[in-house]
């Protein structure tokens, strides 16, 4: 029996196309990374690797007109310091929120509040930056000045933590805002891990007479420990790569061990702020900083991956969280304990003759009187236990506040200041040339954002789907394919962890500098590089969900591999893949950092792919940081409202599409 | 309820059996009229009965799972609850220490007396109730990351029993001996409990439950996940433990019920969607030897269920 040549050829074609798509994606990114690393040569030549990394000075244009001095330490310090402040806030709060939304809150509102916290993840970085600059900093200033006056004298080994003067950008503010931003990521993972705690562990603790908090402490937290540590590491990975909000809130001052109330700078922040107008050696130094940042993020993510992968929730969770993909869009939540406990019929095991020599249980030593336990009144549960449980629960409620207050503050401010800015004109007019005027709109930025998203879609979606097919479907057909698929899969995971500013920089060096001009195309490609791994992993996961029985049914009818994929697997997985694409678009639509020196921005209306183009996030950034007038801030809030609306609509669409996919799981 | 906490005689007369649907159902406590057999009637046992339920109805949201159970559990006896799947045995036993209410939408009506306190009354604290009424589950559920000794200590730790170091060590040894596990684990008390075999884990769970000195121990099919040899060891253990405690055990294994229990209560469910009801109770020998109700006979002889 032989198959027709055409059938064999079609299968070969299917394998080859998906393989090539994967390799093209890998090769393109590797090329861009090569261009980036090649750029850094001058830095290592001038300062040496160790000299650069440990260098504490960053002076791009010395007063004497000589060559600039570049050292990475101030930025490494700033990155770690802001991240540390962020985690100090976010880790406990996330655990509290996760506990509240899995155990402590009434069942009906758990999902609602969990969803609200997820909303935080949908607010783009640049909007947090805007909120920080226009609301938080002015509001917190008196409090921070009081802190400076009261604790200014405290010094730790000569490091004056809270010395004045209080500047508008500071470690403390930037760190706190960063904490709010990483909070939903950590919360989502901790929540998922807590939901994997087996019911019998929970019941085991309750049956011994544990209070709710004691149950959590002894049954849930130990079970979830490695997941929590991994989630924190992932939060750290997210924090070190965070760019725009930090760039807007930290000032830009390369200081080490300066006051927490004063300015600083981070790796990502300085790249964002200085790349556009850097001299040759400075650009090389900034690129070297990007390499340092990439390595830092890579190591942290690798660590997180090991930890989360070891936890009960597994590696799929790790990937979804790296991709910033909101959780449980395509998996039915299992937060409810099962209805009813009618246990399954247990087969009676029949008469079992006693095996010879079963040792008798040893005599139970007498302990005197039977203890009579009080089940009512004050003796039932001691005051100390009640107080402890109350304190723990108070902490849980406080955590919920930490998550909800900034969210509500941002949303309220966006509506209060954004709505007045929005009218018909806002969508049809160009921005005012006079920065003290509010007469104008964001028509160019709106169209620009849509064009950039369109390019990202065209770049990332076809390659992403083909790559996903290769690593989940074609990989199963042969040893070599499966080896290559493993490599591609690892590469995709690495891409997932690349900070978006680094994606922007490699496109800048690999495309903008080579072509000699900024362009919409470059911006779209940068967004595509961010969207690509998200789409691959979402599609990969959903393709694996298609039951093997379906594939085997088709193959057993004599269908060739490609036809099985085309008419059985893809139709079943299509809604899930679409969900992944929509979520990836939602994620990149709010990105600012990779656009700053790729699509650049444009005051005028442009639809040309080879010209610089405006985008909403970049418009918000410019208006907040550069214009800084009351009028331009109002336009920025209006733009923020439009941007968040776009992101929410995309998320909503994704959820609606995902509903259809749930049926896949039931089959 | 009398002052000394003795259960009043609850009985068939008090429950009119006019309903034709319930005509075949004898809802009675263990005292019933089966008194003068091998075992004394429950009410004739010395001392107050540690636990008794009175017209207990159990619901999952709107689903009526169990209806009108009157049962008394005499001190220092083993009572087996038997019946086909879905008849509400497990539901019922989980209502006896308020584990039931942890399931969303689960409620009860009626009374569960622990000595002279209704555990569902407002003044009873579920946390303290669960300490007084311990539970062993179908699948062994030791805390896997904690050591064997820490598993034993976790109950006393929850309940803030003030124990000196010596007392703690003694407690671990005492309860592990009580559960017949001491010799097997005495050299690795500090290794994680997850490393034990299934039968050992279940005995550890029993030891863990004993460490808070409960008055009543509920066992929900404790041997269903175990091999025959481990099952026999647990049964030996149950016989030892009843010298100190009152035990209620759910089992699907007729032979097991016959081997370990003093009293047996047969539950069943008539039709899909109806609540489970108590059909017949009495000394185990009678239930298995000369059941009064034809359905009980059909079930224990294997013709039904």
Q: pLDDT, tens digit, for every residue of A600-658?
A: 898 888 999 999 999 999 999 999 988 888 889 999 999 999 999 999 999 889 888 87
Predicted local confidence at residue A493, as pLDDT: 86
A96 plus A149 within the same structural domain? yes
φ, ψ for residue A526, nearest 5 deg: -60, -45
The residue with greater pLDDT, A441 or B1, is A441
Q: In this complex, do B215 and A381 lie within 8 Å of one another by their Cβ atoms?
A: no
Residues of B in contact with A336 (CB under 8 A): 104
Q: Residue A57 falls within a domain, yes or no? A: no
The residue with greater pLDDT, A35 or A335, is A35
Token pair 């028509």 is found at A443
Predicted local confidence at residue A1, as pLDDT: 62
> Is the CB of B237 inside 8 Å of chain A's CB atoms?
yes
- A260: pLDDT strictly greater than 80: yes
Predicted local confidence at residue B185, as pLDDT: 92
Q: Residue A29 falls within a domain, yes or no? A: yes
Q: In this complex, do A205 and B60 lie within 8 Å of one another by their Cβ atoms?
A: no
Which CATH class, in words, describes the domain spanning B23-300?
alpha beta
- Cα–Cα distance for residue pair B56/B133, rounded to 1 Å: 17
A82 plus A18 within the same structural domain? no
| Residues in Cβ contact with B183 at an 8 Å cutoff, skipping those fewer than 6 apart | A359, A362
Decide: B154 and A218 in contact? Cβ < 8 Å.
yes
A403 plus A450 within the same structural domain? no
- Cα–Cα distance for residue pair A496/A307, rounded to 1 Å: 17
Token pair 């009843």 is found at B242
Q: What is the mean pLDDT of residues A168-196?
A: 90
Residues of B in contact with A108 (CB under 8 A): none
Pairing of strands B216-220, B63-73: unpaired
Residues of A in contact with B209 (CB under 8 A): 207-208
Each residue's pLDDT tens digit, B122-132: 888 888 888 88
Q: Residue A306 falls within a domain, yes or no? A: yes
- Which B positions 17-56 lie with beta carbon below 8 A of chain A? none
Q: Residue A250 falls within a domain, yes or no? A: yes
For residue A587, the distance in angstroms to the closest alpha carbon of chain B comes to 36
| Residues in Cβ contact with A324 at an 8 Å cutoff, skipping those fewer than 6 apart | A121, A185, A238, A534, A587
Q: How confident is the model at residue B86 (pLDDT cuts 50, 70, 90)?
A: confident
Share of chain A above pLDDT 70, in %: 88
Closest chain B residue to the Cα of A225, Cα to Cα: B145
> From its phi and psi, is residue A385 left (phi > 0), alpha (psi between -120 and 50) or beta?
alpha
A586 plus A459 within the same structural domain? yes
Decide: B226 and B200 in contact? Cβ < 8 Å.
no
Which residues partner with A217 through β-bridges?
none
The residue with greater pLDDT, A365 or A16, is A16
Q: Residue A317 falls within a domain, yes or no? A: yes
Q: Residue A567 falls within a domain, yes or no? A: yes
Q: What is the mean pLDDT of residues B140-151?
A: 89
Predicted local confidence at residue A310, as pLDDT: 65
Each residue's pLDDT tens digit, A211-238: 889 899 988 998 888 888 888 988 999 8
Residues of A in contact with B213 (CB under 8 A): 367, 370-371, 373
Nearest to A337 among B65, B103, B213 (CB): B103
> What value of ipTM does the predicted structure carry?
0.74
Predicted local confidence at residue A195, as pLDDT: 85
Q: In this complex, do A343 and B138 lie within 8 Å of one another by their Cβ atoms?
A: yes
Mean pLDDT rounded to a whole number for chain A: 84
* Run of H or E residues at A240: helix A221-241
> Is the CB of B167 inside 8 Å of chain A's CB atoms?
no
> Is the CB of A207 inside 8 Å of chain B's CB atoms?
yes
Which of B76, B125, B178 should we substitute to test contact with A (largest number of A Cβ atoms within 10 Å)?
Answer: B125
Residues of A in contact with B242 (CB under 8 A): none
A286 plus A394 within the same structural domain? yes
Angle formed at CA A321 by CA A316 and CA A327, multiple of 5 degrees: 85
- Cα–Cα distance for residue pair A321/B52, rounded to 1 Å: 51
Q: In this complex, do A349 and B114 lie within 8 Å of one another by their Cβ atoms?
A: no
Predicted local confidence at residue A318, as pLDDT: 58
Share of chain A above pLDDT 90, in %: 43
The residue with greater pLDDT, A365 or A661, is A661
For residue A391, the distance in angstroms to the closest alpha carbon of chain B comes to 16
Predicted local confidence at residue A366, as pLDDT: 36
- Across A124-138, A370-384, B50-64, B239-253, least confident range: A370-384
CB atoms closer than 10 angstroms to residue A547:
13
Q: In this complex, do A343 and B88 lie within 8 Å of one another by their Cβ atoms?
A: no
Predicted local confidence at residue A352, as pLDDT: 30
Nearest to A209 among B114, B127, B232 (CB): B127
Q: In this complex, do A206 and B102 lie within 8 Å of one another by their Cβ atoms?
A: yes
- B26: pLDDT strictly greater than 50: no
Closest chain B residue to the Cα of A346, Cα to Cα: B252
- Closest residue by Cα to residue A14 from A465, A573, A587: A465
Which of B47, B91, B127 should we substitute to test contact with A (largest number of A Cβ atoms within 10 Å)?
Answer: B127
Each residue's pLDDT tens digit, A81-116: 999 999 999 999 999 999 999 988 888 888 888 888
Decide: A44 and A289 in contact? Cβ < 8 Å.
no
Q: How confident is the model at residue A332 (pLDDT cuts 50, 70, 90)?
A: very low
- A360: pLDDT strictly greater than 60: no
> Is the CB of A208 inside 8 Å of chain B's CB atoms?
yes
Q: Which of A597, A615, A633 is the last residue of a domain?
A: A615
Predicted local confidence at residue A36, as pLDDT: 87
A480 plus A563 within the same structural domain? yes
A472 plus A517 within the same structural domain? yes
- Cα–Cα distance for residue pair A513/A506, rounded to 1 Å: 10
Q: What is the mean pLDDT of residues A343-362?
A: 30
Which residues partner with B217 through β-bridges?
B134, B247
Closest chain A residue to the Cα of B177, Cα to Cα: A362
> Is the CB of A363 inside 8 Å of chain B's CB atoms?
yes
The residue with greater pLDDT, A619 or A497, is A619
- B165: pLDDT strictly greater than 50: yes
A18 plus A136 within the same structural domain? no
Nearest to B158 among A209, A340, A380 (CB): A209
- Max CA distance (Å), chain A: 98
What domain range includes position A94?
A: 74-326+389-408
CA A283 → CA A37, A42, A58, A361, A514, distances in Å?
12, 10, 13, 77, 14
Q: Residue A96 falls within a domain, yes or no? A: yes
The CATH code of the domain that includes A81 is 1.10.3720.10
> Taking CB atoms and an 8 Å cut-off, how many pairs form between chains A and B?
199
Q: Residue A218 falls within a domain, yes or no? A: yes
φ, ψ for residue A477, nearest 5 deg: -95, -10
Predicted local confidence at residue A115, as pLDDT: 80
- B85: pLDDT strictly greater than 80: yes
Q: What is the mean pLDDT of residues A499-523?
A: 92
Which of A207, A219, A370 should we substitute to test contact with B (largest number of B Cβ atoms within 10 Å)?
Answer: A207
Predicted local confidence at residue A362, as pLDDT: 38
Closest chain A residue to the Cα of B123, Cα to Cα: A376
- Which A positions 212-241 lie with beta carbon below 8 A of chain B? 214, 218-219, 222-223, 225
Task: Indicate the number of domains in chain A.
Answer: 2
Q: In this complex, do A203 and B65 lie within 8 Å of one another by their Cβ atoms?
A: no
Q: How confident is the model at residue B27 (pLDDT cuts 50, 70, 90)?
A: very low
């Amino acid at each position: 029996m032989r198959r027709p040549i055409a059938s064999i050829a079609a299968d070969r074609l299917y394998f080859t196309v998906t393989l090539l798509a994967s390799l093209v994606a890998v090769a393109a990114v590797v090329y861009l990374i090569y261009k980036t690393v090649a750029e850094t040569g001058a830095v290592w030549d001038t300062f040496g690797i160790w000299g650069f990394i440990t260098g504490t000075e960053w002076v791009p244009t010395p007063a004497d007109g000589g060559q600039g001095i570049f050292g990475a330490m101030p930025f490494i310090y700033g990155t770690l310091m802001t991240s540390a402040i962020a985690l100090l806030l976010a880790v406990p709060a996330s655990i509290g929120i996760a506990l509240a939304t899995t155990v402590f809150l009434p069942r009906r509102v758990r999902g609602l509040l969990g969803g609200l916290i997820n909303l935080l993840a949908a607010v783009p970085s640049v909007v947090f930056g805007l909120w920080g600059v226009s609301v938080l900093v002015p509001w917190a200033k008196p409090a921070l000045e009081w802190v400076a006056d009261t604790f200014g004298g405290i010094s730790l080994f000569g490091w004056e933590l809270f010395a004045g003067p209080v500047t508008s950008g500071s470690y403390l503010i930037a760190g706190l805002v960063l904490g709010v931003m990483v909070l939903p990521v950590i919360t989502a993972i901790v929540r998922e891990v807590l939901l994997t705690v087996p019911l019998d562990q929970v019941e085991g603790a309750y049956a011994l007479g544990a209070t709710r908090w004691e149950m959590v402490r002894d049954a849930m937290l130990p079970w979830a420990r490695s997941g929590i540590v991994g989630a924190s590491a992932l939060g750290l990975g997210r924090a070190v790569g965070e760019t725009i909000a930090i760039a807007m809130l930290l000032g830009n001052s390369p200081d080490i061990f300066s006051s927490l109330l004063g300015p600083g700078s981070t790796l990502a922040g300085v790249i964002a702020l200085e790349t556009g107008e850097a001299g040759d050696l400075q650009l090389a130094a900034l690129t070297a900083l990007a390499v340092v940042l990439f390595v830092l993020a890579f190591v942290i993510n690798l660590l997180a991956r090991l930890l989360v992968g070891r936890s009960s929730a597994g590696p799929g969770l790790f990937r979804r969280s790296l991709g910033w993909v909101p959780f449980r869009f395509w998996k039915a939540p299992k937060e409810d304990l099962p209805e009813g406990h009618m246990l399954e019929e247990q087969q009676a095991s029949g008469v079992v003759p006693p095996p010879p020599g079963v040792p008798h249980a040893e005599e139970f030593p007498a302990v005197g009187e039977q203890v009579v336990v009080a089940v009512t009144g004050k003796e039932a549960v001691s005051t100390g236990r009640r107080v402890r449980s109350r304190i723990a629960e108070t902490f849980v409620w406080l955590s919920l506040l930490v998550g909800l207050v900034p969210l509500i503050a941002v949303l309220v401010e966006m509506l209060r200041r954004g709505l007045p800015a929005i009218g018909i004109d806002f969508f049809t007019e160009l921005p005012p040339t006079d920065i003290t005027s509010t007469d104008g709109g964001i028509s160019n930025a709106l169209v620009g954002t849509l064009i950039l998203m369109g390019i990202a879609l065209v770049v990332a979606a076809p390659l992403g789907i083909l790559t996903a097919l290769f690593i989940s479907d074609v990989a199963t057909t042969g040893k070599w394919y499966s080896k290559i698929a493993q490599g591609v899969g690892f590469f995709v995971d690495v891409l997932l962890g690349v900070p978006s500013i680094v994606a922007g920089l490699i496109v800048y060096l690999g495309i903008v500098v080579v072509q000699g001009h900024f362009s919409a195309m470059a911006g779209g490609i940068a967004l595509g590089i961010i969207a690509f791994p998200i789409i691959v992993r979402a599609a990969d996961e959903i393709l694996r969900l298609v039951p093997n029985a379906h594939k085997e049914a088709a193959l057993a009818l004599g269908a060739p591999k490609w036809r099985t994929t085309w008419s059985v697997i893809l139709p079943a997985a299509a809604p899930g893949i679409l969900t992944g694409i929509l979520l990836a678009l939602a994620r990149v639509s709010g990105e600012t950092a990779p656009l700053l020196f790729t699509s650049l921005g444009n005051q005028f209306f442009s639809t040309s792919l080879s010209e610089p183009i405006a985008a909403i996030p970049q418009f918000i950034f410019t208006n907040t940081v550069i214009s800084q007038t009351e009028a331009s801030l109002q336009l920025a809030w209006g733009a923020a409202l439009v941007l968040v609306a776009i992101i929410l609509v995309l998320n909503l669409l994704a959820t609606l599409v995902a509903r259809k996919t749930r049926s896949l799981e039931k089959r | 309820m009398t002052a000394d906490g003795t259960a009043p005689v609850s009985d068939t007369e008090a429950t009119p059996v006019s309903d034709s649907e319930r005509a075949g159902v004898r809802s009675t406590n263990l005292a019933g009229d089966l008194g003068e057999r091998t075992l004394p009637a429950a009410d004739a046992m010395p001392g107050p009965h540690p636990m008794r339920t009175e017209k207990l109805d159990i619901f999952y949201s709107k689903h009526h799972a169990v209806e009108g159970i009157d049962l008394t559990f005499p001190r220092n006896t083993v009572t087996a609850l038997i019946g086909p799947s879905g008849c509400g045995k497990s539901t019922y036993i989980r209502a006896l220490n308020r584990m039931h209410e942890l399931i969303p939408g689960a409620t009860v009506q009626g009374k569960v007396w622990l000595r002279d306190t209704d555990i569902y009354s407002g003044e009873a604290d579920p946390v303290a109730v669960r300490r007084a009424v311990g539970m062993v589950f179908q699948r062994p559920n030791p805390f896997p990351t904690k050591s064997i000794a820490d598993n034993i200590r976790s109950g006393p730790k929850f309940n803030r029993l003030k124990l000196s170091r010596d007392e703690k060590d003694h407690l671990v040894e005492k309860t592990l001996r009580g559960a017949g596990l001491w010799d097997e684990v005495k050299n690795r008390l500090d290794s994680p409990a997850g490393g034990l075999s299934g039968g050992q884990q279940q005995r550890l769970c029993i030891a863990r439950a004993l460490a808070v000195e409960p008055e009543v121990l509920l066992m929900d099919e404790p041997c269903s996940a175990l091999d025959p040899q481990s099952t026999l060891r647990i049964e030996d253990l149950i016989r030892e433990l009843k010298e100190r405690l009152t035990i209620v055990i759910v089992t699907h294994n007729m032979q097991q019920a016959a081997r370990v229990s003093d009293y047996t209560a047969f539950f069943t469910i008539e039709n899909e969607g109806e609540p489970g009801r108590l059909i017949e109770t009495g000394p185990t020998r009678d239930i298995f030897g000369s059941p009064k109700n034809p359905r009980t006979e059909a079930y224990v002889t294997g013709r039904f269920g």
